Amino acid sequence: MVAHHRQDIVPSPSAAFGATSPWRGRIGAPSLSGVTDMIVSVIYPNHDGAKFDADYYVNTHAKMVDDVWAPARTTLVRGTASPGGGAAPFAMIAHFEFADAAALGAAMANPRVAELTADVVNFTDIQPQLMIGEAA
């Protein structure tokens, strides 16, 4: 892993109020510039009976994405509940931030991207949705 990458794992609401959470952690140091322009969001919509191994995602898949895509920053948001108290609408939302369109293009052109796609079956049966956007 390149030293200037950072991964934030957003804790569950209970962790935000003082409870410890295994989902909180950082890998590496902050990005060098602190500025990102392009963001790839990978969204895993939850559904009844969905399989999603969050431990595997955090400890294996997200680290693989960092190695292959080399984003400036990675933020993982694990779904824990909906505002009404029901199941979370999303099992996980991952945001991969890139300094600019060229960095994003290089990430997408990496020949190892196929490894990321092939790994999805190891942690979920959910079809991920991708959105590419610009930081506002």
Beta-strand pair 129-134/38-45: antiparallel
What does the pLDDT read at residue 136? Answer: 80
Q: What is the mean pLDDT of each run of 10 residues along the chain (136 residues)?
A: 39 34 35 69 96 97 97 95 90 96 95 96 97 90
Cβ-based burial of 45 (10 A; exposed 0-12, middle 13-18, buried ≥19): middle
pLDDT of 35 reads 56
- Cα 71 from chain centre: 11
Burial track 5-42 (b if 16+ CB lie within 10 A, e otherwise)? bbbbbbbbeebeeeeebebeeeeeeebeeeebbbbbbb
The confidence score (pLDDT) of residue 85 equals: 86
Say if residue 119 is exposed, middle or buried (CB neighbours under 10 Å; 0-12, 13-18, 19+): middle
Pair 92, 46: CB distance under 8 Å? no
pTM, 2 dp: 0.74
21, two tokens: 């959470």
Q: Show me where the domains of the chain are located.
A: 7-14+21-42+49-84+98-130
- The domain 7-14+21-42+49-84+98-130 having CATH identifier 3.30.70: the answer here is yes
Supply the pLDDT for residue 132: 96
Confidence (pLDDT) at 34: 54
